[in-house]
């Protein structure tokens, strides 16, 4: 979202309310709201991902928190989330839409048909995550290597996309577990996949309350998370 282009697109489209979900949109749009050239601006805070106090991301976090004062309302997904002094958020806790009926059989997903064979007669570890460093997915691959060395038949499936895919595949190859580790990519309907998992794992270095975890809880998959 570019400052000038974004403001023009919103201002010329008849939009009556702008709802931002990320720090970039918030930082770009808040100054225009302060100048009165944008409609009311609402921000939902989902949590910040910072792995170091001395990083570009930390600078974005500080700037974003400063810009919250120019929003008309701030929503937080937890009452424990901090906002700037004098800026009390409206708390709307994370939740999922409970689907009607049982999960489908995934007949329209060819990967799922392969997965059922892939998971046969093995302990199936699963995770739904963006493939990025803060998710610490290398730890899951290390766990597969340890279980494999101990003689435990194991499979790992991580559903998600991201820039860390090549790194994870390289780690699996280096540890000799490329075959039992599978990264099928992003899946819009994860319910049939969750039915295959014996354990849901989330070893993130930093995390709030992801929707993926709620999906796994609703599916009744045992959790092992940090």
pLDDT for 193 equals 96
Return the half-sphere exposure (C-beta side, CA atoms, 13 A cut-off) of residue 29.
26
pLDDT for 141 equals 98
pLDDT for 101 equals 66
Rounded distance between C-alpha atoms, residue 98 and residue 219, angstroms? 10
pLDDT for 209 equals 80
Rounded distance between C-alpha atoms, residue 32 and residue 80, angstroms? 29
Give every strand in the sheet of 73-76, ordered side by side.
18-20, 41-45, 73-76, 90-91
DSSP code for 134: G
Residues 141-177 as b or e (16 or more Cβ within 10 Å = b): bbbbbebbeeeeebbbbbbbebebbeebeebbeebeb
Encode the chain (226 residues) as per-residue pLDDT tens digits.
454 556 666 766 778 999 998 888 889 999 999 998 889 999 998 876 666 667 777 888 888 889 999 999 999 888 877 776 667 889 998 888 887 766 666 678 889 999 999 999 999 999 999 999 989 999 999 999 999 999 999 999 999 999 999 999 999 999 999 999 999 999 988 999 999 999 999 999 888 788 899 999 999 999 999 8
How big is the CA angle at 133 (ends 212 and 225), to the nearest 5 degrees?
40
């Amino acid at each position: 979202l570019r400052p000038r282009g974004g403001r023009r697109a919103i201002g010329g489209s008849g939009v009556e309310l702008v709802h931002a979900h990320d720090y970039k949109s918030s930082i770009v749009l808040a100054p225009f709201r302060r100048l009165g050239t944008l409609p009311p601006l609402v921000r939902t805070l989902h949590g910040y991902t910072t792995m170091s106090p001395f990083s570009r991301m930390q600078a974005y976090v500080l700037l974003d928190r400063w810009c919250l004062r120019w929003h008309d309302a701030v929503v937080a997904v937890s009452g424990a989330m901090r906002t700037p002094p004098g800026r009390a958020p409206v708390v709307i806790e994370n939740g999922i839409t409970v689907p009607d009926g049982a999960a489908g059989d995934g007949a329209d997903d060819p990967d799922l048909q392969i997965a059922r064979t892939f998971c046969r007669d093995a302990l199936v570890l699963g995770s739904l995550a963006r493939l990025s460093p803060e998710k610490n997915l290398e730890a899951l691959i290390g766990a597969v290597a340890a279980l494999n060395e101990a003689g435990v038949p194991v499979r790992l499936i991580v559903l998600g996309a991201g820039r860390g895919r090549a790194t994870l595949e390289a780690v699996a190859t280096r540890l000799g577990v490329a075959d039992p580790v599978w990264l099928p990519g992003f899946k819009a309907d994860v319910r049939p996949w969750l039915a295959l998992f014996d354990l849901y794992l989330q070893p993130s270095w930093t995390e709030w309350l992801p929707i993926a975890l709620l999906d796994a809880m609703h599916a009744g998959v045992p959790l092992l998370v940090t």
